Amino acid sequence: MGRGRKPVIKVAAALILRKGEVLMAKRHRDDVQGGLWEFPGGALEPGESLRDCLARELREELGIQVEVGEEVAAVPYDYGGFIVHLYLFRARVTRGKPTPLGCEEVRWVPWEEVKKLSLAPADRELLKLLEAEQGSKHRAGGD
Domain coordinates in residue numbering, the chain? 8-139
Partnered with residue 84 across adjacent β-strands are 9, 77
Assign 3-state DSSP to the chain and report helix, strand, coil percentages, each to 5. 25, 40, 35
The CA distance from 96 to 41, in Å, is 16
Model confidence band, residue 67 (pLDDT cutoffs 50, 70, 90): very high
Average the pLDDT over 22-41 and give the result: 91
The CA distance from 29 to 51, in Å, is 27
Query: Is the pLDDT assigned to residue 63 strictly greater than 70?
Result: yes
Taking domain 8-139, whether its CATH number is 3.20.20.10 is answered by no
Q: What is the pLDDT of residue 93?
A: 97
Average the pLDDT over 35-40 and give the result: 96
Cβ atoms of 93 and 36 within 8 Å: the answer is no
Q: What is the pLDDT of residue 136?
A: 57
Q: Average per-residue pLDDT in the chain?
A: 91
Residue 12 burial (CB count, 10 A): 30
Query: Is the pLDDT assigned to residue 1 strictly greater than 80?
Result: no
Q: What is the pLDDT of residue 132?
A: 85
Cβ atoms of 117 and 101 within 8 Å: the answer is no
Query: Is the pLDDT assigned to residue 54 strictly greater than 90?
Result: yes
Average the pLDDT over 114-124 and give the result: 96
Model confidence band, residue 31 (pLDDT cutoffs 50, 70, 90): confident
How much of the chain exceeds pLDDT 90, in percent?
83
